[in-house]
Every structure is written in structure tokens, then in C-alpha cells.
Structure 1
Amino acid sequence: MSRREKTWWIVGGIAIIIYALFPIAWIVSLSFKGPSDIANGQFLPTQLTWENYSLILTGAASDLFLPALRNSFGIVLIATAIASVLSMFAAYAIARLDFRGKKLILGTALAVAIFPVISIVTPLFNVWRNIGLYDTWPGLIIPYLSLTLPISIWTMSAFFREIPWEMEQAAQVDGATTWQAFRRVIVPLAAPGVFTTAIIAFFIAWNDFVYGISLTSTSAARPVPAALGLFSGASQFVDPTGSIAAAAVIVTIPVIVLVLIFQRRIVAGLTNGAVKG
């Protein structure tokens, strides 16, 4: 590329980064503003304050936020683990075996993944109330599987298709069983794809709001997105913008930590099969 083209690419990249990071910077700025400083129209706070963080961690809002944070971690991690294991077996079968209806299964999984959640919340609410799953961890884990499992099967099957199956056959020739070849040969090769799929499933479940607000009513199972919608000020005339922003910053930290820890595996998984030869 010429120098002019490189300059335009750099300018475009910087513009995209600013566009993507500006909302995050705005939320972080709001989290350090006091009630009288939020509506002044300035980007940076005139005086930094930890009042919003104290409110949600040790203050009046801690009884709402901290149990919700615990629920989100527990429910989302369990749902992600189950979805990753089940989708790994399903993707292996779809990629490795030839059987009737394979394309139909993948198409159905994609259709379920894009199906509007709001259309099934009301009947699911009634069913959960009748069988005792309303406002419980299993009552959210099962619906979260309907969000994470289809997209996990679709994504992971693409990774399994890129694995050279001659390696599995070579392991079986050396005396390994089908299960041993799968566990010791295929799974390690598919590890980048499994990690990438697990991170995607975690993000989907972590950010869910509709199920969380509709299938819970107390702090027994209410996740963080639903709890944020229930934040209120000290009175009806006080807007809890600062405390909501502080809670949003804290909720974002686990996502950032996961991406930083598994950055190499995520990149390897996303680029797996992109280049051949």
C-alpha cells in the first residue's frame, strides 16, 4: 500500500476504536460522578467520588447487587459448562458421522438460536410456576441452554470439520478405542474451538435480560441484568444513574478478564481453518 492508503487505514482504525470505546468510557465516567454532577453535560466528572461503588458493594444497594452477582456467576458458569460438553459431542457426531437429517439438525439449531425469546417467556413462566422451577437456578439454567446450545453446536461443528480425521484413525490403529481417540486426540485438537465457543456461550448467558427478569422474583436466582433494572434511588425524585453505571462497570470486569486470560485461544479458534495450505 502507498503511504496515503496506510494513513487512511490508520485513521479509519482509530475512528472505529473511538466509536467502540466511547460508550464504555462514558459509563466509567458516570460511575465516578455524584448525583449533582451527572446532569451537567460534561464528559469527565468535576470531582471523583466512590459513592456509587460504595452504594452497590457495601451500601443500601448491596443486598440487591451482590446476590445477583453471585447468581449470575453460578448460573452462567453451569449453563456454559453444560452447553460446551453437550455441543462438543453433538458437533463431533455431526462432523464425523454421515446420517440422514444432518443438515436439518444444523438448520434447526440455527433457527432456534435466532428465535425471539420474548415469544416463549409467557408459556415458560406458566410452566415453571406449575412445576416449581420458577425463581430457581435450574429455572434459569435450562432456558439459558436454549440460548447457548444451538449456537454452540453450530459454531463447534465448523471447528470439528477442520480436524484431519486420519489422526483419529491412526490412534485407533495403534489400539485406542473410539472414546480414547476422541478424548486424547480430537478434543486437544479442538481445544481452541471449544474455548471460543464456551466464551461466546458465556457472553450470551451473561447478558440475558428477558429470562432473568421474567423467571425470577427474588434474590434467590435473580441475575445481574435483571437486578440492574430494579435499581432505584433514595427517593422517587433521585435517578440511580451513577449506581447503575458503577454496577455495569463491575459486571463488565469478568468479561474483560476472561478475554484477556483466553485471548490466544480465542484468536486461534476464530482463525482456525481460515487459511489452508
Structure 2
Amino acid sequence: MNPTGLWSSPALRWIAAGMVVVNGFFPAVWILFTSLKSEAELVQKPITWWPAKPMLDNYLRAFTDQPLLTYLKNSLLVACGATALSLVVAAFAAYAIARLNLKRRQLILTCIVASSMFPLVTLLVPIFETMRALGWLNTYIALILPYVVLNMPVCTLVLVSFFQSIPRDLENAAMIDGCTRMGALWRVVVPLAAPGVFTAGILAFVNSWDEFLLALSLNSSPAVRTLPVGIALYQGEFTFPWPIISAALIVAIVPVAILIALFQERVVGGLTQGGLKG
């Protein structure tokens, strides 16, 4: 049987799409159901899928047992700051690679990809020592700057493919009209590459929002603690209040879900166009 003809079957395509949806949404749905259960219902057998008596007390306790609003604010500040700075720096890097006559351009791209392959744990000690020497431990900047470095490879690669697809004549026309090269970048190239900018921004935001290891190591003060680290503190030495932890996780998922819902078309278009252009 021809494999191409097999996979062109509508039934198989629906099955494959269903598997992707279930794999992506089932954990979030299960966490949501868990957040609406009591601890007694959670451990009873047989397992109940839907909460017998949905309750919102776990959400109240999630905000009262730990300063969840503070953690949420800190994560928003860090993720938004890291995303904005990542896009600015990545735009400069991507424009230089896409437009300037750089020697060994492919080698530069290879080095960018290679830099993203280092395990974060191997970078932890140098980053910690650098932040301590600068006196930046327990500050927002201690997380924002490392996140910018970690986001740079993927943001740069996404933007390079979009910048390369934009005709040079548009920039030349803008510079003839009086724009500098920098002005042409921000007034012509970046707006035309908006799907790629949104895609890179979403990826940078999610990476910064979810990061745990650096947030745990660099910021120990409750005043600047981010959401992933704060959620880990709900568990005690011998207790794991899963309904309360699940409620806090739902709170952590909501901002990312809203962001993706608002920019869904741009992100999907950016990923598709980037794949075709790359």
C-alpha cells in the first residue's frame, strides 16, 4: 500500500489530530478537575473523573496559603521584560545576519543553534557567580538578563527567516526617503515581519514564564519570587495538597492561554510561514 495514499485518508488525519489534541489538552483538563475536588475525593477509589461536588475553596486557599498574587506579578514583570528585551536584541542580530554581508554567515547560525543546546544546569554556577558579583541576586534583572540570553537563539532564528523574505527594495526606498538603516529596520522590516515577531515573542514569553531552575537559584526572597517557584512551596515535608497546587497551576496557565488565544492567528501564521521560508 502506498504510504502517501494511506496518510491522505481523512479518517487517519482525524485520528492523528485527535491524538495531538488529547496529548495537549488532557493534562490541563485533568489539573482543572483536580483543582475542583476535595482531598478526600482525590484519593478515593475508584477514581472519579468529574468532581462529584465542584468546589472553589482550593482557589481561595491557593491565594491565602501563599502570596500567589505577588508571585503572579513577579512572573509577569520578568517574562514581559525578558520578552521585550529578547525581541530587540534578536531583531538586531537577525537583521545583521539577513542583510549585512557577513563572512561565514552559516557558521554564525550554526553557533547560535549550538549555544541553545547547552543544558541549563551547566550554566547555573557561572550565572549565579556573575549575578552575585554584580550584586543583582534577588532582583528582577537577575532573571531578565539570563532569560534574554536563553531566548536569543530561537528568537534570532525565527526572525532571520522572515527578514530574509522581505525585499531589499523596500528598505532602499525608505532610506532614499530619508530613513537611516536603523529607521528602515524599525519602520519597514519589523512591521512587515509582524507574524515572525509575534511568534518569537510568544516563544520567549512562555520560556521565561515557565523557567524554574534559575528562578529558584537566583531569587530566594519572597518579594521577587516567581510563580513556578512559588507553586513548589505549597507542598510540605510530608504533605502534598494536590487540589490547592492544581488550583495554583490553573492560575499560572491562564495568562499564557489568554496570550495565545489573542494572538493565535499571528502565531500559527508565523510558525507556518517561517517553516516554509526557512
* TM-score scaled by length of structure 2: 0.90
Are 1:244 and 2:245 matched, yes or no?
Answer: yes
Are 1:52 and 2:62 matched, yes or no?
Answer: no
Cα distance in 2 for residues equivalent to 1:120 and 1:100: 29
Cα distance in 2 for residues equivalent to 1:244 and 1:210: 19
Distance 1:206 1:98, change over 3 A: same
Are 1:255 and 2:261 matched, yes or no?
Answer: no
Counterpart amino acid of residue 29 in structure 2: A
Q: How big is the shift at 1:18?
A: 1.9
Are 1:128 and 2:131 matched, yes or no?
Answer: yes
For residues 90-119 of structure 1, give each alpha carbon's deviation from its aligned partner in whole angstroms, at most 9, with x where no partner exists.
101110011224333222221221211111
Are 1:222 and 2:225 matched, yes or no?
Answer: yes
8 Å contact from structure 2 (residues 196, 274) kept in 1: no
- Structure 1: which 5+ residue stretches go unaligned? none
Distance 1:226 1:266, change over 3 A: same
Which residue number corresponds to residue 73 of structure 2?
70
For residues 148-200 of structure 1, give each alpha carbon's deviation from its aligned partner in whole angstroms, at most 9, with x where no partner exists.
11221122111111111122123334444323332322121111111110111
For the residue of structure 1 that corresponds to 2:40, the secondary structure is coil
8 Å contact from structure 2 (residues 86, 148) kept in 1: yes
Distance 1:171 1:124, change over 3 A: closer
Counterpart amino acid of residue 171 in structure 1: A
Mapping of residues 1-277 of structure 1, within 5 Å: 5-40=9-44, 41-57=47-63, 59-61=64-66, 63=67, 65-232=68-235, 237-272=238-273
Cα distance in 2 for residues equivalent to 1:207 and 1:200: 11
Identical counterparts, % of pairs: 36
Distance 1:129 1:273, change over 3 A: closer
Q: How big is the shift at 1:273?
A: 5.4
Distance 1:171 1:122, change over 3 A: closer
Cα distance in 1 for residues equivalent to 2:71 and 2:275: 40
8 Å contact from structure 2 (residues 199, 270) kept in 1: yes
Segment drifting more, 22-31 vs 130-139: 130-139
Give the 4+ runs in structure 1 shifted more than 4 A.
273-276
Distance 1:273 1:212, change over 3 A: closer
* TM-score scaled by length of structure 1: 0.90
8 Å contact from structure 1 (residues 112, 146) kept in 2: no
Counterpart amino acid of residue 245 in structure 1: S
- Structure 2: which 5+ residue stretches go unaligned? none
